[in-house]
Structure 1
Amino acid sequence: MRALAALLFVAGAHAGDVERGRALVADRSTSLCLLCHSLTAAGDVNQGNLAPSLASAARLKPAELRERIADMRRFNPATVMPPFRSTEGLRDVAPAWRGRAVLTEQQLDDIVAYLGTLAP
């Protein structure tokens, strides 16, 4: 347990809640995950098909997944995925969102916890 706590501290993460993460992924007004991603490789007509299935996220370590959701631009500068924890380098941001990250640290950790439960 001590090793897990140290890992979470090093990653800048908090303990994530799987059920809150599930709700956030499904919420089309907060995270918008399902706008581009599907939950399974088979897809769903009510989910996105522009990006990889979220089930493939389980292949990544939690810290790697967290970094990608926080700001995918670190890995692919041309990505269309929004930087959910960054406010730097954005343009055409609505006044209500200027200087505000889309997700809180806790919400990000909840989503990572949920995605870790999905089967590839």
Structure 2
Amino acid sequence: MALTLALALTFAAPAHAGGNAERGRALLQDRTVSLCLLCHALTAAGDPNQGNLAPPLDSAASRLGVQALRERVADMRRFNPATVMPPFRATEGLHDVAPAWADRPALTDAQLDDLVAYLVRLPRP
């Protein structure tokens, strides 16, 4: 019984539990790594230096939930095969990848956890 409960709690733990929101903030703001702000704004009010092609990020966690948010950042193609959002944790099915990035995901698991930890802490609209 205790083992079953321990396993259930382990698998129920949020994926961002080990993430660092401050590192996630820095990652999100670094357009050379995450690219988030090229398409997304942090808030619905927008910002001229942020994107307007995709939904604002301040509502993402509340709309999707933590695990779904993490899965979408990891590889949005699983939910929308025609998406233009880069698959940050995938290496399969990519075309025209620079040699330095071949067979290497754009974000590590730790970076993904950090990014999600930051996104879930954004104030809701």
Please give the TM-score of this superposition, normalised by the length of structure 2.
0.86
Would you say the 8 A contact 2:17–2:117 is kept in 1? no
- Structure 1 residues not aligned, in runs of 5+: none
Letter in 2 for 1:56: S
Q: Does 1:117 align with 2:121?
A: yes
Q: State the alpha-carbon separation in 2 of the partners of residues 106 and 71 from structure 1.
A: 15
Percent of paired sites with the same residue:
68
Q: State the alpha-carbon separation in 1 of the partners of residues 88 and 61 from structure 2.
A: 19
| Structure 1 match to 2:100 | 96
Q: How far off its partner does 1:56 sit?
A: 1.8
Of the candidates 34, 37, 49, which is equivalent to residue 37 of structure 2? 34
Q: Deviations over 1:50-97 (max 9, x none)?
A: 111011212122111100000000000000000000000000111111
Q: How far off its partner does 1:14 sit?
A: 5.3
Would you say the 8 A contact 1:22–1:114 is kept in 2? yes
Q: Does 1:105 align with 2:73?
A: no
Q: Does 1:82 align with 2:86?
A: yes
Bigger Rg, structure 1 or 2: 2
Displacement over 6 Å in runs of 4+: none
Q: State the alpha-carbon separation in 2 of the partners of residues 4 and 65 from structure 1.
A: 20
- Structure 2 residues not aligned, in runs of 5+: 1-5
Would you say the 8 A contact 1:14–1:109 is kept in 2? yes
Q: State the alpha-carbon separation in 2 of the partners of residues 4 and 62 from structure 1.
A: 16
Would you say the 8 A contact 2:17–2:113 is kept in 1? yes
Please give the TM-score of this superposition, normalised by the length of structure 1.
0.89
Q: Does 1:53 align with 2:56?
A: yes
